[in-house]
Chain A
Amino acid sequence: GNLSIILNYFFAGEIFELKAELNSDKKEKKKEAVKKVIASMTVGKDVSALFPDVVNCMQTDNLELKKLVYLYLMNYAKSQPDMAIMAVNTFVKDCEDPNPLIRALAVRTMGCIRVDKITEYLCEPLRKCLKDEDPYVRKTAAVCVAKLHDINAQLVEDQGFLDTLKDLISDSNPMVVANAVAALSEIAESHPNSNLLDLNPQTINKLLTALNECTEWGQIFILDCLANYTPRDDRESQSICERVTPRLSHANSAVVLSAVKVLMKFMEMLPKDLDYYGTLLKKLAPPLVTLLSAEPELQYVALRNINLIVQKRPEILKHEMKVFFVKYNDPIYVKLEKLDIMIRLASQANIAQVLAELKEYATEVDVDFVRKAVRAIGRCAIKVEQSAERCVSTLLDLIQTKVNYVVQEAIVVIKDIFRKYPNKYESVIATLCENLDSLDEPEARAAMIWIVGEYAERIDNADELLESFLEGFHDESTQVQLQLLTAIVKLFLKKPTETQELVQQVLSLATQDSDNPDLRDRGYIYWRLLSTDPVAAKEVVLAEKPLISEETDLIEPTLLDELICHIGSLASVYHKPPSAFVEGSRGVQHKRLPPRSGSPEGAHSGGAAIPEAVPAVIPSQGDLLGDLLNLDLGPPTTGVAPAPTSAMQMGAMDLLGGGLDSLVGGAALNCNCQTLGWYFLPHLQVWLLAMKAKGLEIAGTFSRRGGVIHMELSLTNKAMSVMTDFAIQFNRNSFGLAPAGPLQVLTPLSPNQTTEVSLPLSTVGPVMKMEPLNNLQVAVKNNIDVFYFSCLYPISILFVEDGKMERQVFLATWKDIPNENEAQFHIKDCHLNSDAASSKLQSSNIFTIAKRTVDNQDMLYQSIKLTNGIWVLAELRLQAGNSNYTVSGVLERERYRF
């Protein structure tokens, strides 16, 4: 309106004045003018019209003025790309200024100017600054590479900046190292399998040295980077832990949490009987407790993490219950988290204290907190049997307060207590029934109805009570309706004579007057059961219920393990994997805990078993052979073998010492039984869920037919619209797998349709080491979007048909390979004789070269050749009449480039 015209007028005047001041000869006036410009910019006024005038001020030796001009540039360069070029010269000049502060300022600002045209001009100055004599300039230039990568990734790659950045990891200045690590991590996050942070014992050593000397922030960058490393064995793991533990005393909570992450992860590899393992566990508790005296926001982050740590390793904090007691003035988000941890730590030893606390909390003001406290009392009862009685009486006290939401919450938990301890606390039912009228929440009503139905024989007026609910049947929520239906049927089965009318009423309400299919179906089932076979009905409806679990809200173990790898980060705060809240190419990678070595439990640790999906990252070619032989030779139904753990027990990972393991990497030829398992029993695995891919579901498996590797895909359209234009691409991978042709989906895929495609693969694609080695990352495109997933292929698809070695060559090679390249392990329960084994293995391109029989023992000598020219030689020993096999394997490298 008018007002805005007037305001614009005044503003135009202001711009005019500023323009004059900016062009003033006096330095001070100029500076004041630029300050005014920045002030206007900050409050959101558009001062881009002043661009040329401001840029003119750039050539000054006054550092403060220069900083102001740079600030302006960062804001407006993008909207004025043509004019931004004017600034280039000054940048180039400033990057060669004798003052290191100006050089650094220039290189820092350059990277913030997101104009494509300019970036090319900035490469030379950046290159110089990366090699500047002053560490302050170098540490700034390191971050600038990450900035440039965000603007133009291609340029950064072409210019070789990534290599320069990697070199900076060996810089003499710790802060340069830290920033180089930060920049590399940032870049690596946006293209996951680039293997930018090629961590090996040498770089790790450099990082650990810098760790002691750099700023608190640098320590965080380095620790977060260290956490991505997988030590080769428990000794290395222990030595890294020893060098990281001093960080637990740092004043910065983030340093502490990142150190905890490294320790929690590497501890996984230490044998539990090791003294050091116990020492480490003890060292972890005090710093975690100390985090609780930080500011509330950090306390919150700490508590979310402690929640994970307590689930993973309850022993660490089991004696620290008291520090989680809620303080009256804690912010509500801290209170709720503390409560959660209290319940997890509750045990017979501390239950009395916990209960006393919970009772206090149940009288507080915040409704959510009070509800959670009441629920917690119920959970204590279920968790610690000895306390159940006290919990129940506490709950009854709370019910007496008549505070509506407390009563409802109490009734919900009492239902669970009844289920856990049948025939013990039913005496309280009378009290519960008194509160029937005040229940207005569906969950509480449903719980109460369940109780009445379950104990109908003890409640004299059960029929009246249930009948009273029936009046407003159609206004109830589904949960209540279903519960009411079941409760009345139970009542009828217990007291058939008096309740016939009631049951008929509810059945007709459910089946005839309701349009909810669940309710209707359940009604019909009951009806038919009751009318055809009342005995069966009784068996079904009054069947004994399974026990309820003690722990609730536990995070699923694989997710928990992944989250442990993300301690301190947002993922640990949300309790979600990064892929759940990070978009785009970032955050696709899933992190995993390393398996324990040297311990008979193998990958299993604590109470929570890590499913076999966790890949063994310990190098051992024995694993590979073991898996293959075992799975193939064994009876098909018992497909999964304990081979990997037994191999580890023998310390086989040392066998790839020397030059080999660094070439083959930490995960040499290792793959897990699961992946092989589904190759030999080739059923499809779902690789991409429809819900994650806008309706496209992809399942698949791999096979080798006629010397060609095939990726067998099954594409299902679960969306509402037609899908067309399919294409597929692989990321670089360990064995150079690549599609040999386009993805042939001939017709458009209509909704609910599935199509099977067999995609031939070549092995001449670009090679990059993956973790695990047999990981393949795939992008599938259609007319809707592009989707990503990764899958594991069985190593055996890489065994080529001409893998049969000449006898003489075999003998010579076998002798030539040094002993330390050998791995040995045992396979149990294999009921095949040597001939059957041999022919079965041959079908997987594992060839028997020779057979010997000594002392009732058959020895098979075998060779395997991989697509990339690696030979694996094996000796398989079978004791007649004994189902245990012994395998010795050696690895012969012809050429293997990574």
Chain B
Amino acid sequence: MIGGLFIYNHKGEVLISRVYLSYSDSAAVHYGLPRPGLFSWRNAVDAFRVNVIHARQQVRSPVTNIARTSFFHVKRSNIWLAAVTKQNVNAAMVFEFLYKMCDVMTAYFGKISEENIKNNFVLIYELLDEILDFGYPQNSETGALKTFITQQGIKSQTKEEQSQITSQVTGQIGWRREGIKYRRNELFLDVLESVNLLMSPQGQVLSAHVSGRVVMKSYLSGMPECKFGMNDKIVIDKQGKGGTADDAGKSGKQSIAIDDCTFHQCVRLSKFDSERSISFIPPDGEYELMRYRTTKDIILPFRVIPLVREVGRTKLEVKVVIKSNFKPSLLAQKIEVRIPTPLNTSGVQVICMKGKAKYKASENAIVWKIKRMAGMKESQISAEIELLPTNDKKKWARPPISMNFEVPFAPSGLKVRYLKVFEPKLNYSDHDVIKWVRYIGRSGIYETRC
């Protein structure tokens, strides 16, 4: 498995190091086989610094093999996390673990920065000891970890508390502890979608998909059994068969086709597989219940119509129209259109009908910002770009025009139909739970070629 784990700063200095395997291969010795070549962790640590952190060129792969040793790395701001191995490990698992480790650290002390890591190194070692044993990832749910790894020092626990901790960490419901109590049982559901688009200059959709997440914040007492329902086409169609033809027709329109979805580990996957029902006992507090992807019948909140004209060798004329395409009563926010400019731009003049536009030389782009915009409206920007004459034969690559925005609906059309809560042991019913739902659609990579 993972033979060693290291955290480096941007200079390549090691902030945290934990080694699990010596790679002396005692088994080889035992079976009368020769030891493989000498291996030294010190050399391995240096090799990563020299070949990856200090490498001149852009990183060409997140997995690097140096002298028969494999290095997996992820980077968070200027901190490098590297997992090292000499075996044929499960590569996907190593990366998932590195991300998880970042999540756990963030949950404990906020941003992953050199300062925070230095200030919390004892905690990090303690966490690492718990979540990675001999290079094998163990329970890494922050909810569970926080019950027994605290920064305040451990209060002496009673025997019951101790066994509760161990049974939670190893239990089937490792993400939730028993005995949670709230005076007010409340839950919040956020449907967060990012809508992605690649459009040709002529307005043809080259690719579009929505990747969505259902994030749940639950403040529920006991061990509540939850059931989540949405306007999933497969479920609605199934129900439609039982109802009248009219019903099916009506609901059929409102249902959406989900290409694929993945769930938090609390969801009973076999039940979803057989009945397509989403049932679970939720973790306490905030977590991501599910992710999904849709590609059919997506509402594209904005349309970008670009027009770029080259006037001679030293001038470009750019005109961009954006059209909002949703109910007039709704408001989009934080709208930003980014129009790339050539590297040899010497000056830009911009006129826009709405919002503010600025040429940002350091980013090689004109950035046009609009605070709010209602549905079924349009707005326009035009710019004249002066160019310096160059000898460079290579034409400007014309990066696509990208857009950012936020809209108060789900571009996929997803609707939450219900979230039922059952807690048979405690005396509160589904009706007593206060439930909130919110939809937010954001731009993912929303690009129009020009």
Contacts and interface: CB of A to CB of B under 8 A. Distances in A.
Given A100-B166, A101-B162, A569-B90, A585 B33 contact: yes
B32 A729 contact: yes
Contacts of A254: 90, 92-93, 95-96
A190 B170 contact: no
A569 B91 contact: yes
A472 interface: no
Contacts of B137: 217
A143 B95 contact: no
B27 A149 contact: yes
Contact of B27 (A68, A191, A578): A191
A895 to B, nearest CB: 28
A323 B293 CA distance: 12
Contact of B65 (A149, A402, A581): A581
Interface in A623-673: none
Contacts of B88: 566, 569-571, 578, 581-582, 586-587
Contacts of B273: 245-246, 249
A38 B121 contact: yes
B35 interface: yes
Interface string B41-78: 00000000000000000111111010010101110000
B95 A332 contact: no
B412 interface: no
B61 A108 contact: no
A328 B399 contact: yes
A250 B263 contact: yes
B259 A108 contact: no
A190 to B, nearest CB: 4
Contact of B90 (A104, A187, A568, A586): A568
Contact of B30 (A154, A246, A402): A154
Nearest to B58: A332
A251 B74 contact: no
B198 interface: yes
A573 B63 CA distance: 8
A464 interface: no
B162 A99 contact: yes
- Main SS at interface, chain A: helix
Contacts of A214: 172
Nearest to A99: B162
A819 interface: no
Interface in A134-173: 134-137, 139-140, 143, 146-147, 149-154, 173
Given A114-B22, A328-B400, A100 B162 contact: yes
A179 B135 CA distance: 12
Interface string A32-67: 000100110010100000000000000001111001
Contacts of B260: 249, 286-287, 289-290
Contacts of B157: 99
B72 to A, nearest CB: 8
Given A62-B154, A217-B137, A574 B262 contact: no
A247 B269 contact: yes
Interface stretch (B219-227, B238-246, B301-309, B390-398): B390-398
A67 B167 contact: no
Given A42-B15, A135-B167, A585-B33, A217 B136 contact: yes
Interface in B264-288: 264-265, 267-270, 272-273, 288
Contact of B445 (A286, A329, A581, A583): A329
Contact of A363 (B139, B166, B209, B397): B397
B417 interface: no
Contact of B270 (A224, A246, A302, A566): A246
A134 B163 contact: yes
Interface stretch (B125-133, B327-335, B375-383): B125-133
A484 B290 CA distance: 62
A2 B159 CA distance: 57
Interface residues of B, number: 109
Contact of B35 (A249, A251, A584): A584
A5 B194 CA distance: 60
Contacts of B95: 253-254, 295, 297-298, 301
A212 B274 CA distance: 14
Contacts of A360: 449
Given A252-B96, A325-B198, A581-B65, A401 B395 contact: yes
A67 B129 contact: yes
A91 B273 CA distance: 47
Contacts of A189: 87
A496 to B, nearest CB: 41
B251 interface: no
Contacts of B133: 108, 140, 143, 179
A155 to B, nearest CB: 9
Contacts of B400: 328
A64 B206 contact: no
Interface in A430-488: none
A322 B207 CA distance: 6
B1 A186 contact: yes
A296 B62 contact: yes
B68 A583 contact: yes
B224 to A, nearest CB: 19
Given A100-B166, A153-B27, A251 B395 contact: no
B27 A253 contact: no
Contacts of A401: 393-395
Given A246-B272, A582-B88, A788-B33, A333 B60 contact: yes
Contacts of B395: 363, 401, 403
Interface in B5-37: 14-17, 20-22, 25-28, 30-37
Contacts of B426: none
A327 interface: yes
A101 B172 contact: no
Interface in A582-605: 582-587
Contacts of B28: 190, 584-585
A327 B449 CA distance: 11
A615 interface: no
A215 B92 contact: no
B439 interface: no
Interface string A222-260: 001000000000000000000101110111111011100
B33 A584 contact: yes
Contact of A786 (B33, B166, B200, B399): B33
B87 A586 contact: yes
A146 B170 contact: no
A18 interface: no
Contacts of B36: 583-584
Given A62-B154, A298-B96, A582-B87, A249 B63 contact: no
B138 A215 contact: yes
A250 B96 contact: no
Contact of B31 (A176, A191, A295): A191
Interface string A176-201: 10010010001101110000000000
A147 B27 CA distance: 11
B122 A38 contact: yes
Interface of A: 35, 38-39, 42, 44, 61-64, 67-68, 71, 98-101, 104, 108, 111-112, 114, 134-137, 139-140, 143, 146-147, 149-154, 173-176, 179, 182, 186-187, 189-191, 212-217, 220-221, 224, 243, 245-247, 249-254, 256-258, 286-287, 289-290, 293, 295-298, 300-302, 322-323, 325, 327-329, 331-333, 353, 356-357, 360, 363-365, 401-403, 566, 568-574, 578, 581-587, 729, 779, 785-786, 788
Closest 6 CB pairs of A and B: A286-B260, A136-B166, A583-B36, A254-B92, A190-B27, A246-B273
Given A214-B172, A328-B402, 20 more contacts: A137-B166, A249-B263, A251-B291, A258-B93, A286-B260, A296-B62, A297-B73, A301-B63, A356-B200, A569-B88, A569-B89, A569-B91, A570-B70, A570-B85, A581-B70, A582-B88, A583-B25, A585-B27, A586-B88, A587-B88
28 contacts: A42-B16, A42-B17, A63-B154, A64-B126, A64-B153, A101-B166, A108-B129, A149-B26, A174-B172, A190-B27, A214-B172, A215-B139, A215-B174, A250-B269, A251-B263, A286-B260, A287-B260, A300-B61, A301-B63, A327-B445, A331-B59, A332-B58, A568-B91, A570-B85, A570-B89, A583-B86, A584-B28, A729-B32
